Amino acid sequence: MDNIFKNELTVTSSPHILSKNTVQKTMLDVIIALFPAAIGSIYYFGLGALKIITVSVISSVFFEAFYQKIAKKPITINDCSAIVTGLLIAFNLPSTAPWWIPFIGSGFAIIIVKQFFGGLGSNFMNPALAARAMLLTSWPNIMTNFVSPGSADGIASATPLAIMKYGAADVTASATVKEAGNALPKLMDMFLGNTGGCLGETSAILLLIGAIYLLIKKVIDWRIPASYILSTAVFLLLFGVESQMIPYHILGGGLILGAFYMATDYVSSPVTPIGRIVFGIGAGFLTALIRTKGGYPEGVSYSILLMNIATPLIEKFTNPKVFGRVNG
């Protein structure tokens, strides 16, 4: 959610909400909200996480200033939006990724997705998620090389979603709930962050602490996260997932990170209350569909990106109707 102005694809009817929040203040609030999860990732994954976060943030700021300099545009790195993009890119990477992965991802997000479409507030999809999708397509082995927290020897570890999707060691893909449960980490470990995954996907409690802060500060609206998470659970049940596995789907992967920090991007999500609920339900349906019927155990990134593309259409059908017109 690293953009808040100038979405030329979205024009809404009144009433319009006036806010005293500046871009910089909003971005600083997001950085504060992401800080607990960033510290948690360093605690669990060590220097590898610190390296990823540092390279990603510095690269994002560099590419923003570099492009604006050569394009002879005002340099806007002081608004802190590039820092938010860098943090979100880092949160979507495994701690084992080499330094050039966040470097390339940051360049793609800032220059291709953000600046080429006009800069802050003009892009039609979330830059960090677009970068993750590009990196996952280009280097799938690197992007799915996860390790357990505190693993000094770097032994690969399957994520909870991968275990449920493909099975693990003695668990087949058609495993019973009991068999899968024996291979999966404890729910409390997933809640706290003591499990394998991307940097920002493992600790639900730290992400929720930041999300509560954003809700209190009214930086984000509750409708998209609530409808997204709830609809994901409902559609998973409809697609045949047993109820005992639903908590693993909610706490595992990027659902909480995506629902609160990426699907709520100001520019690439609807502005109308009904539109936001439709957006969340659509993302939930796609996430459940990909996780259960697709070949990839996760589905959050692609689901949100597809709903980003659908946002103008959602806005078209959910904007309040105009009952009068003043001719001037």
pLDDT by residue, tens only, the chain of 328 residues: 544 444 444 444 333 344 556 889 999 999 999 999 999 999 999 999 999 999 999 999 999 999 999 999 999 999 999 999 999 999 999 999 999 999 999 999 999 999 988 877 778 889 999 999 999 999 999 998 888 776 544 455 567 777 776 654 433 334 444 445 557 788 888 888 888 889 988 889 999 999 999 999 999 999 999 999 999 999 999 999 889 999 999 998 899 999 999 999 988 899 999 999 999 999 999 999 999 998 887 889 999 999 999 999 999 888 877 655 555 5
6 sits in the region (left: phi over 0; alpha: psi -120 to 50; else beta) called left
**Cβ 64 vs Cβ 110: under 8 Å:** yes
Terminal CA-CA length for the chain: 38
Q: What is the CATH number of domain 23-318?
A: 1.10.3430
Annotate 232-247 with b (16+ C-beta within 10 A) or e (fewer). Answer: bbebbeeeebeeebee
Gyration radius from the chain CA atoms = 20
Query: pTM of the prediction?
Result: 0.85
